[in-house]
Every structure is written in C-alpha cells, then in structure tokens.
Amino acid sequence: MCSMNSTSTDKTELKNIYRPMLMKIISIADETKDTRTLRLEFSDQKEKDAFNFKAGQFGLYSAFGHGEAVFCISSSPSKKGYIECTFKKVGKVTVALRNLDIGDTVGFRGPYGNNFPIDNLKGKNLLFIGGGIGLAPLRSLIDNVLDLRSEFSNITILCGARSVSDFIYKGQIREWESRSDLKLVKTVDALTSPAEETEWKASNGRVGLIPKILADINPSANNTYAIVCGPPIMIKFTLQELEKLNFSRDKVITTLENRMKCGFGKCGRCNIGPIYICKEGPVFTAEELKNLPQSDF
C-alpha cells in the first residue's frame, strides 16, 4: 500500500520539466539570408489541444543532438493549431535548426515568461517600433491586435532594418501597408544602389535610424502606448526619444533577451540582480527597466 502510494507520487514528482514537446515543421520561410521562420505543429493531438500562450512569451526550441535555443513565439495566439518562431543563424543550435526541413521534428518547451499586457492596451493608440529581428515578438502582438482591431484606437507601426533586404516579414509588411486602418512607416539605415533608392522612395520608404524617424513622425503621446523591440542600442535611443516626445515610462513597453538556460526560474542564468528575466520578464515597461540594477536604459 505504502509502496504503491510512493510509486504514484514519484511518477508525478519525477515528471521531467525539461522534456520538450515534439513539433513537426510544416512550413519554412526564408526572411533574409540568415533569418528563417519555421511554422511548427504539435505531433501530439492532446498537447496541441491543451496549448495556449500570450503574445510576448517565449519557448526553448531544440534541434535534437545539438541543444536548445530561446526564441519568442512570433505568431499570434489568435492563430490556432500552430506556432511560429523566427531566428537568426548565429551559432550551434540555430545552424542545426536551419539544417532541418519540412516534416522534420524539433523539440519545444514553453510557453515561458510574462506577456504584453494586451488588456491594458484596449481603447488606446498603439505605436509599435521594431528594429531588425525585434519585429518578431512585436508581430505576435500586432497580429493579435489586428485580429481584434475594433478594440484598439489608432495603430502606427514603425519598422526599420539595416537595408531593404534585411527586413523580415516583407510580405506581411506589404499587407500592413495596404490596410487603411493603420499607419506603417518603414526605414532603412542605408540604401545600396540608385535603383534601390528609386524603388524604396517610390514605396514611401524612409532612410535614417529609427530614433530619428520617430522624431520626424512626432507621434502624440496622448492615450498612447509604445511597444518597442530591437537591438539593445536601438532600444536605448528609442526610449530616450520617446521620453522627449512626452511618453511616460509606464506607457512604454519593451522586451529583453538576456541569456537563458532553463526558461523557468531554476538555473539562475538570466538574472539581473534579484530579477529573473525568464520569469518576471521578458516584457518590461521602461519604468521597470530603469529600476533594474545597473540599468543602461
């Protein structure tokens, strides 16, 4: 009796929290020369039915035999039955993930972390500012918001990349541009040829770093939340510009990419002082960021 009890308890307690769910790659989109989006579907129907996440959350994706890497979930929670991740090839795991094909299996643990506070954004003007691959976590929220369009006020998306070919989600950006219920502003750091310049300008593209273009478009801070994601240097100068535009820090939201290992508060790899970014983040307001130890923001 005693041993039966302990066996069933052991079974529950020994459930491996690091065991990934299995997911099949159902489509692949090459965004740039080194950035790729995978659409993944759960292999197990029960796991598929039970799965839920919110925009801003992340997962650990494994290429078996090579390890795990952390990516945000870049698709919208309103799109059911699959998730997408968009990753840049930088090292061991991302190279291994790039070598996989449609029909291959990857591991997924998650969703982890907090999320963008979509309920607080309802009824507000939204200003999305995404730089480079930083558009990936924003896309999850943008698509979620667009699927509930009537619940939000004016929407502006400012997105930037180093060059025209470095934009991720080119097709989706064109789709956003064609909508009359949002304003899209796109910018590149530099153009590479006169022909590209003609085409870019004809499509209303701008040239300049995101903080400068932000100052040029001069958005009103009134009843507006700004949601910012990109490389740390871009976030830093964009937050400064938003402050000049009178955005209060609690209305500016961003997401951090500290190194992570476990994803759920066990390993201590991701902390800034007492804060575990994997649990209390990755989404923070600019006010919260300012109060982090040794904050650079």
Ligand X SMILES: Cc1cc2nc3c(=O)[nH]c(=O)nc-3n(C[C@H](O)[C@H](O)[C@H](O)COP(=O)(O)OP(=O)(O)OC[C@H]3O[C@@H](n4cnc5c(N)ncnc54)[C@H](O)[C@@H]3O)c2cc1C
| Contacts with ligand FES, residue ranges (CB under 6 A) | 260-263, 265-270, 276, 278
The answer to the question of residue 72 lying near ligand X (CB under 6 A) is: yes
CA–CA–CA angle 215, 220, 226 (5° rounding): 80
Burial code (b: 16+ CB inside 10 Å, e: under 16) for 43-70 equals: eeeeeeeebebbbbbbbbbbbeeeebbb
Binder of residue 58, out of ligand X, ligand FES, none (CB less than 5 to 8 A by kind) = ligand X
Among residues 71 and 169, whose Cβ is nearest to ligand X?
Answer: 71
Applying CB under 6 A, among 38, 40, 55, 70 the residue interacting with ligand X is: 70
- Cα R_g (the chain), whole angstroms: 20
The answer to the question of residue 90 lying near ligand X (CB under 6 A) is: yes
| Percent helix, percent strand, percent coil in the chain, to nearest 5 | 35, 30, 40
Binder of residue 70, out of ligand X, ligand FES, none (CB less than 5 to 8 A by kind) = ligand X
Residues 109-168 that bind ligand X (CB under 6 A): 133, 136
Query: What is the closest distance, in whole angstroms, from the C-beta atom of residue 53 to ligand FES in the complex?
Result: 17
Of 227, 223, 256, which Cα lies nearest the Cα of 242?
Answer: 227
Choose the binding region for ligand X from 25-33, 37-45, 92-100, 176-184 (rule: CB under 6 A): 92-100
Binder of residue 201, out of ligand FES, ligand X, none (CB less than 5 to 8 A by kind) = none
Applying CB under 6 A, among 69, 157, 214, 289 the residue interacting with ligand X is: 69
- For residue 22, the cross-strand partners are 107
Distance CA 203, CA 206 (A): 9
Among residues 182 and 278, whose Cβ is nearest to ligand FES?
Answer: 278
Distance CA 187, CA 123 (A): 28
Applying CB under 6 A, among 129, 214, 260, 283 the residue interacting with ligand X is: 260
Query: What is the closest distance, in whole angstroms, from the C-beta atom of residue 29 to ligand FES in the complex?
Result: 28
Q: Are 69 and 93 in contact (CB under 8 A)?
A: yes
Q: Are 289 and 254 in contact (CB under 8 A)?
A: yes
Applying CB under 6 A, among 31, 84, 241, 257 the residue interacting with ligand X is: 257
Query: What is the closest distance, in whole angstroms, from the C-beta atom of residue 182 to ligand X in the complex?
Result: 23
Distance CA 111, CA 50 (A): 12
Cis before residue 282, ω within 30 degrees of 0?
yes
Q: Are 141 and 114 in contact (CB under 8 A)?
A: no
* Interface residue list for ligand X (CB under 6 A): 58, 69-72, 86-88, 90-94, 133, 136, 257-260, 282
